[in-house]
Amino acid sequence: MSAAQWRSHDMGDWRLAFQLRTLDALQAQLQRLNIELFIVDAPEFSDVPGALTDLCKRLRVDALETIDEYPLNERLRDNAVEQALLEIGVQVNRHVADVLVEPGVLKTGSGGPYTVFTPFYKKWRERAENAANQTCAVPQPQARFELPVVEQENQVPVEVDGVDRSLGESLWPAGEEVAQQLLDTFITTRAERYPDDRDLPSLAGTSGLSAHLAVGSISARQCVSAALRASMHDTQAADGLQKWVSEIAWRDFYRHIVAQFDHVNKGAAFRREKDHLPWRHAPDELQAWQQGVTGYPLVDAAMRQLNETGWMHNRLRMIAAMFLTKHLLIDWRAGERYFMHKLVDGDFASNNGGWQWSASTGTDAAPYFRIFNPTSQGTKFDRGGAFTTQYVPELSGLDAKYMFEPHKAGVTFYPAPIVDHQFARVGPISVQVLEPLQK
């Protein structure tokens, strides 16, 4: 556990509580196999090599099996652990299990990494099918044996300062069994309609697996493997499953980006030239966005969903992110940080990738003038306002034609829009001419 480091990476209570509950579930599962779970507290990543060296010595460990993670700090940590353990004669076996295809393996025609998703996906898909078949067998129950006592680390449940592990318990039950059930439900009941339903926030049309994928209670490989198996005998669902696998490919893609472009890990725009955009310093507007009181019902419903449940629907993540960066012209990093702080599935690579895509500073960047209109997105993806009124209940009962423009109905119980959509069309560069901007 590296709670201080996680906190310094903006990981918030929803995800930390989910992570603690996942550890509880893992411990119970391992106990049934007579396998002991040791939780070592190493507050910063730099403490991890020393803590593991110490533990390996005390338990007389011969070999350590680890799964590679790809953000820069994690890579540096894992290299340092490998070095430290080799020095005391412990073999380190590093595995590729967080992605289907290892970063660095896929290369463009000119030998570099892919920075555009579609050609990446074509190459990825060929290899992913093989990788999906390579899952490890579930361990069998072990013979009982006495380990040297390591009292301190062996006290579970562990705590993280200030985190109530029951936060979100009913919304986000944890553990591998729950994750497998979600996967099964998705494949048997939702996959067929996924291409249509995935964009409608009022429906449970997606898998809901992101938090489990983020903490590792299920792997992307297990998901793809199950999807490929199902699509062989369920031809009705095959298209939906293929679409779903392509979304999982985005997860791999963003992991390849953080693994191969160090500057992205250091708060810089993927497109370095975009680091000079004159973002506005507008704390009141940032706060209105965070609290879901922008006067744009779909954006507000999205932000309130995030605040109340720790999760936000994918389409709404794009709409909310574009609203912050292209309507309010606030730096994407402020939004990235807020999402990370609130999301139960907060994941550096996917969050950074999603934010930079939305802000047009990242890979596959949409040109900055491609902006989702939060009003027409509402009529298109939440016609009738079922989702919007769930989180902005004060709009229930409003004539449907005003659902996404309540100011036109002259309502006084809901804020007027804090910015005009037309303003967003100007784009952050031209806005410099309209008003003085502070960094």
**332 labelled catalytic:** yes
At closest approach, how far in Å is the CB of 192 from ligand FAD? Answer: 14
Residue nearest ligand FAD (C-beta atom):
354
At closest approach, how far in Å is the CB of 339 from ligand FAD? Answer: 6
At closest approach, how far in Å is the CB of 169 from ligand FAD? Answer: 19
Active-site entry in 6, 250, 311, 357: 250
Active-site entry in 279, 289, 311, 357: 279
> Has 253 been labeled as part of a binding site?
yes
Tell me whether residue 81 or residue 248 sits nearer to ligand FAD (CB atom): 248
> Has 221 been labeled as part of a binding site?
no
> Has 210 been labeled as part of a binding site?
yes
Active-site entry in 6, 311, 332, 357: 332
At closest approach, how far in Å is the CB of 255 from ligand FAD? Answer: 9
**250 labelled catalytic:** yes
> Has 189 been labeled as part of a binding site?
no
Residue ranges that bind ligand FAD, judged by CB under 6 A: 198, 206-210, 213-214, 247-248, 250-251, 254, 314, 317-318, 321, 339, 343, 345-347, 350-351, 353-355, 358
> Has 146 been labeled as part of a binding site?
no
Active-site entry in 153, 159, 307, 314: 314
At closest approach, how far in Å is the CB of 152 from ligand FAD? Answer: 32
Tell me whether residue 250 or residue 296 sits nearer to ligand FAD (CB atom): 250
**273 labelled catalytic:** no
Tell me whether residue 226 or residue 248 sits nearer to ligand FAD (CB atom): 248
Q: Report residue 32: phi and psi, to 5°.
A: -65, -20
Tell me whether residue 90 or residue 128 sits nearer to ligand FAD (CB atom): 128
Tokens of 151: 């009292």
| Residue where the block lists tokens 């991890």 | 48
Tell me whether residue 196 or residue 394 sits nearer to ligand FAD (CB atom): 196
> Has 254 been labeled as part of a binding site?
yes
> Has 208 been labeled as part of a binding site?
yes
At closest approach, how far in Å is the CB of 298 from ligand FAD? Answer: 14
Tell me whether residue 214 or residue 395 sits nearer to ligand FAD (CB atom): 214
Active-site entry in 129, 247, 308, 405: 247
Query: How many angstroms separate the Cα of 326 from the Cα of each of 10, 264, 266, 293?
Result: 23, 21, 23, 17
> Has 308 been labeled as part of a binding site?
no
| DSSP bridge partners of 390 | none
**314 labelled catalytic:** yes
| Residue positions forming the annotated binding site | 194, 206-210, 244, 247-254, 345-347
Active-site amino acid positions: 247, 250, 279, 314, 332, 355
- Which residues belong to the annotated binding site for FAD? 194, 206-210, 244, 247-254, 345-347
